[in-house]
Amino acid sequence: MQTVNDAEEQLKFDQRIIDEQKIEPTDWMPDAYRQNLIRQMSQHAHSEVIGMQPEGNWITRAPTLRRKAVLLSKVQDEAGHGLYLYSATESLGITRSDLIEALQSGTAKYASIFNYPTLTWADMGAIGWLVDGAAIVNQISLQRTSYGPYARAMVRICKEESFHQRQGYEIMTVLAKGSAEQKQMAQDAMNRNWWPSLMMFGPHDSDSAHSGKSMKWKIKRVSNDQLRQKFIDQTVPQIEELGLDMPDPELKWNEERGSYDSGEINWEEFYQVINGSGPCNYQRIKHHKKAHKEGEWVREAVRAYQEKQNAKKQTNVA
């Protein structure tokens, strides 16, 4: 039930959003705003964490020591982003273990792209280049999001993501200029990752369940379709530069719009993957649960040790 006080606070909150002021953890905020943020931020954190798996799949098989070091530090960065975003989400009054439980039970989502398999080394290139590239387009817009901790996290994360994208593009460049087999590997990885990368921006604006409110609260600053277009426009010249064939025959420059036209996304596949039936959904969550379960005895040991230490301290004080 909304009290008089809440109504006053709501007015103040609305004004602050209009004035582009950041909302901070201790500020009053409507519950729906809080829940919406928890959903979006935790989804973002989970994406970083689950995203470690498809790339982790190649750490032990990276072809050179330098590539191995770069890939390992990239995946380590993703873990760091996950940690940072979990902490930022915790500022909204939810614990990390609640968030992890929501991930494992399937209530919370993560980026659907990570439900596709990384079949060859070229996927490491394509993911860095396309997936991190798409993530940056989205995250740059989120640097202006209305919730302070989220906005600051985005500033920091964007810096590292651009390094990730460069390393991915560099892998693609080497492969595209390499042997026929390597070039084929690059083409194939791009073809497979292209559509799932476009899907990362979510459904069309007209079909997006959460967009309206998120835009009003300035959690979201730019629409799904606008971000997707921006990504396509910046990526097509890079495909040309690599000398690869276009992954979508309908990609054509539209002089009038000053943008590329493109084919329609397979939305059936999109919803199928989002709803848990993509090629790796089961595997990703199973892996996460297994690692979590196998670590339980360690976490228990840490708790037990802490309790013993605390008990000792109390005895000493007494």
Partner 1 sequence: MKDNQQNLIRFLIGLGDDSVVLSHRLSEWCSNGPYLEEDIALSNIALDYIGRARMFYQYAAELEGDKRTEDDIAFLRNEREYTNLLIHELPINDFAFTMVRQYFLDVYYCQYLLQLCESTDERIAAIAAKAVKESRYHLKRSKPWIKQLAEGTDESRERVQLALDELENFVGELFLMEEWETQLANDKLVVDRKTLEANWNSEVQSFLAESDMKFPDSKIQIRGGRNGIHTEHLGHMLSEMQYLQRSMPGLEW
Contact residues toward partner 1 (CB under 8 A) are 49, 52-53, 56, 59-69, 72-73, 75-76, 79-80, 82-83, 86, 121, 174, 178-179, 181-182, 287, 291, 294-305, 308
User: Which CB sits closer to partner 1, 56 or 117?
Assistant: 56
By C-beta, is 100 or 140 nearer to partner 1?
100
Contact at 8 Å (CB) between 263 and 248? yes
Closest approach of Cβ 110 to partner 1, in Å? 13
Instruction: Give whichever of 75 and 140 is closer to partner 1, judged by the CB atom.
Output: 75
196: amino acid identity, one letter: P
Q: Which is nearer to partner 1, 75 or 232 (CB)?
A: 75
Using the structure block, give the residue that is written with the tokens 């194939």. Answer: 188
Cβ-Cβ contacts under 8 Å for 144 (sequence gap 6 or more)? 151, 218, 221
CB burial of residue 173 (10 Å; 0-12, 13-18, 19+): middle
End-to-end alpha carbon distance in the chain: 48
The least CB distance from residue 242 to partner 1, in Å, is 15
Give 58 or 270: the residue with its C-beta nearer to partner 1: 58
Report, in Å, the least distance between residue 224 CB and partner 1: 29
CB of 175 to partner 1, least distance (A): 8
Q: Using only the alpha carbons of the chain, give its radius of gyration.
A: 22
Separation CA 22–CA 31 (nearest Å): 17
In the complex, the smallest distance separating the C-beta of residue 64 from partner 1, rounded to whole angstroms, is 5
Cα separation, 198 vs 133, in Å, equals 11
